[in-house]
Structure 1
Amino acid sequence: MSIEKKVWWISGVLTFALGVLLFKLLVALNHFEGDPTQLPDQASVDDYLQKLGNVPDYQVKTGIFIKSFSFTGASDVHVSGYVWQHYEDGVHDAIKPTKKEVGFILPEAVDAANGVIEEAYRMDQDGATLIGWYFEQTLRQSFDYTSYPFDHKTVWVRFWPGEFDVNVALIPDFTSYPATGSNDIFGIDPRIVMGTWERENTYFDYRLSDLDTTMGIGENEFQTNLPELHYNFVIKRNFGNAFIVHMVPLIVVTMLLFGAVMTVTRRPELVERHDFSTSSVIGTCSVLFFVILLAHVQLREGFAGSPVIYMESFFFLMYFLLLAVSINTYLFASEAVPSLRFIHYRDNLYPKAAFWPFVLLCMVAITGYNLSLKAGPEDETVIETHN
């Protein structure tokens, strides 16, 4: 076997191996791990509240059903649906809301005055009063784009009790749902149009309030250690749309760049056949640079103010490849640096053979780094408007 064939054989093996490794990393990056804080049943709620060391005076069963949601901004989501609570006779008489009162607060409502929370029904059930409210509110939450387009978003509805001067804990009304296990989806209308997203999971959990004040209401420790009830629904991006819009152009440009590298030669018959010249290769790289730049600007506009995201890293890789191909072509055609055997050897053999292994190795490194970030502590996030 000739040296050229050995080099290309090694290149092919490395390309295949790195391609398989990249695929496995992408599958891992697109995988969602359940939140360990999920509360699947009443026993888990009781265990959580007992560990607080400050048992609430009242526990009010609270349920929610999401009827619709839409994204009104990079950090705003408009949610509508129903919230209901059970008030037991003789137990919750002191905190039972009147018809003009609401038994909960949505602290993340952006413009509560223009939102809607109105009583929808009130009925007596087995020694308790069931009160349901219809609500429409715009909620503001944090977001994270670093894994785009393999990102999962956790959109939540955060509850505070309506009473601040007593120790009240809102607990999930598990009996109102057919199943609330770790893999069950509940509390959301299955007919909601998700667009470029897919339902992944729903669950209740508690997060301790980070307030550093008693709100001026006496010495109530419960105000600074309040277990806030959250209803969460996790959605996974359907990356097919992002792949077509952003990755397909990058793949095509990479192939065109490889084609430009393959035209680099000193063999007279190939020079004439390929019409090779240093200026033509550098000109091709210049044109491809502007194509990539425009696509990069379009992507960045959708994530203004966000750190560098996963897909954006490939644009930086393309900038480096464009520069590397231009420099390689110039050095190969230049007689001033004949000592660079790596470039001049057998008609630029090594740079040609190393092109795809190098590209895939960089993609593996980028994906592995983002996977390590995902394995760390994740912030709960909200959907952005970019599709």
Structure 2
Amino acid sequence: MSVEKKVWLISGLLTFGLAGLLLKLWIELNHFEGDPTQLPDQAAVDSYLGKLDVAPDYYVRTGIFLKSFSFLGASDVQVTGYIWQHYETGVHDKITPAEGEVGFLLPEAVDTANGLFAEAYRLPQSDGVLIGWYFEQTLRQSFDYTSYPFDHKTVWVRFWPSSFEDAVALVPDFESYPATGPDDIFGIDNQIVMGTWERENTYFDYKLSNLDTTLGIGQNAYQTNAPELHYNFVIKRNFSNAFIVHMVPLIVVMMLLFGAVMTVTRREGLIERHDFSTSSVIGTCSVLFFVILLAHVQLREGFAGSPVIYMESFFFLMYFMLLVVSVNTYLFASEAVPSLRFIHYRDNLFPKASFWPFVLLCMVAITAYNLSLKVSHEPPPISTEDS
């Protein structure tokens, strides 16, 4: 077997091996780990609330059912649905909302003027009253887009009790759902239009308010560290849509760039057949640069204000490869640097054969780095001693 065939064989094996490794890393990057803070049943709620420094005076069962949601921007999400609460006679008389009032607050609502809270029903129960409200609100939240297009979004509805004078804890109304286990999806319409997203998980959890003020209500220690009920629904992006829009053009441009590299030659017959010249290769790189630049600008406009995202790293890799191919072509055609045997050996063999292994190696390194960031940002598991 000739030297050239051996080099290309090694190049092919490395290419397929790195492509398989990249696919494996993509699968891991697209995997969602459940949040260990989720509360699957009433026992978990009682355990959490039992550890508070100040015990609540009232416990109000609260449930939610989402009918629709849509992203209005990088930080705003519009949600609609129903929220209901159970008030017991003789227990919640002081805090039961009158008609036209709402028994909760959504502190992250930003468009209250155009939002809606309308009482949908008020039904007497054997032990009290059940009140339900229909709501339409725009919530402002911070989302992490650094793993795009493998990003998962946890959209939450954050609840505060409407009464700050009393120590009120809102607790999930688990009895209103068929199942609320760690892997169950509940509280969201099965026919909800997700667009480019897919449902991944739903769950309740608590986060302490950690306020640095008593809200002017004297020495109210409960309000400064009150448990805030969160209903979370986790969605993951439809990878195929983002892959077609952004990744396919990158792959096509990379193939065109590889084709330009393969035209680099000193063999007389091939020079005429490929119409090779230094200016033609550099001109091709210039055209591809503007194609990539326009696609990069379009991608960046969708994530204005966000740090460098995963997909964006491939555009930087493309800029680098365009520069490398241009420099390689110039040095190969230049007689001023004949000592660069790596470039001149067997008609630019090594740069041609190492093109795809180098590109895939960079993609693997970028993916592995983003995967490590994802793992480091995951919350630690809850100790069994605390449960």
Per the TM superposition, whether the score is higher than 0.5 is: yes
2:5: which partner in 1?
Answer: 5
Q: Distance in 2 between matches of 1:4 and 1:291?
A: 33
For the residue of structure 1 that corresponds to 2:352, the secondary structure is helix
Q: Distance in 1 between matches of 2:83 and 2:294?
A: 46
Structure 2 equivalent of residue 140 of structure 1: 140
Q: Which moved more, 1:58-67 or 1:95-104?
A: 95-104
Q: CA deviation at 1:352?
A: 0.6
Describe the SS at the equivalent of 2:219. Answer: coil
Provide the residue aligned with 2:182 in structure 1: 182
Rounded to whole Å, the distance in 2 between the matches of 1:72 and 1:308 is 21
Q: Which residue of 2 aligns with 1:165?
A: 165
Letter in 1 for 2:356: W
CA distance in 2, matches of 1:127, 1:266: 91
> Match of 1:260?
260
Partner of 2:384: none
- Measured in 2, the distance between the counterparts of 1:326 and 1:127 equals 79
Separation in 2, partners of 1:86, 1:221: 26
3-state DSSP of counterpart to 1:260: helix
Q: SS of the residue aligned with 1:100? A: coil
One-letter amino acid of the counterpart of residue 114, structure 1? N
Task: Look up the match of 2:385.
Answer: none
Q: CA deviation at 1:127?
A: 1.1
- Distance (whole Å) between structure 2 residues aligned to residue 186 and residue 133 of structure 1: 18
In structure 1, the partner of 2:149 is 149
CA RMSD of aligned residues (A): 1.1
Deviation readout 1:233-272 (Å, 9 max, x if unpaired): 1111001111111111100110111111111111111111
* CA distance in 2 between partners of 1:160 and 1:39 (Å): 18
Q: How far 1:100 sits from its partner (Å)?
A: 2.7
> What whole-Å deviation, never above 9, does each CA across 1:261-295 have from its counterpart, x for those lacking one?
11111111111111111111111111111111111
Per-residue CA deviations over 1:76-118 (Å, capped at 9, x if unaligned) read 1111111111111111111111113211011011022331112
In structure 1, how many angstroms separate the alpha carbons of the residues matched to 2:271 and 2:210? 70
**3-state SS, counterpart of residue 354 of structure 2:** helix
Please report the TM-score for the alignment, with normalisation by the length of structure 1.
Answer: 0.96
In structure 2, the partner of 1:348 is 348
Q: Tell me if 1:57 matches 2:68.
A: no
Q: Take 2:284 and 2:113, find their aligned partners in 1: how far apart are those partners? A: 57
Give the paired residue count: 379
Q: How far is the alpha carbon of 1:125 from its aligned partner?
A: 1.3
Give me the whole-angstrom Cα distance separating, in 2, the residues matched to 1:74 and 1:344.
49
Letter in 2 for 1:146: T
Aligned to 1:225: 225
- Residue 78 (1) aligns with residue 78 (2): yes
SS at match of 2:50: helix
Shift of 1:50: 0.9
* Partner residue, 2:276: 276
CA shift for structure 1 position 68: 1.5
- CA separation in 2, counterparts of 1:114 and 1:264? 63
What corresponds to 1:42 in structure 2?
Answer: 42
Name the residue aligned to 1:205.
Answer: 205
Which amino acid is 2:313 matched to? S
The amino acid of 1:306's aligned partner reads S
Query: What do residues 199-246 of structure 1 show as CA deviations (whole Å, max 9, x unaligned)?
Result: 111110000103110000011111111100000111110011111111
Match of 2:116 in 1: 116
More deviation, 200-209/96-105? 96-105
Q: Which runs of 5+ in 2 are unaligned?
A: 380-387
Match of 1:310 in 2: 310
Report the alpha carbon displacement of residue 9 of structure 1 after superposing the two structures with TM: 1.2
**How many angstroms apart in 2 are the aligned matches of 1:329 and 1:226?**
66
Q: Which residue of 2 aligns with 1:384?
A: none
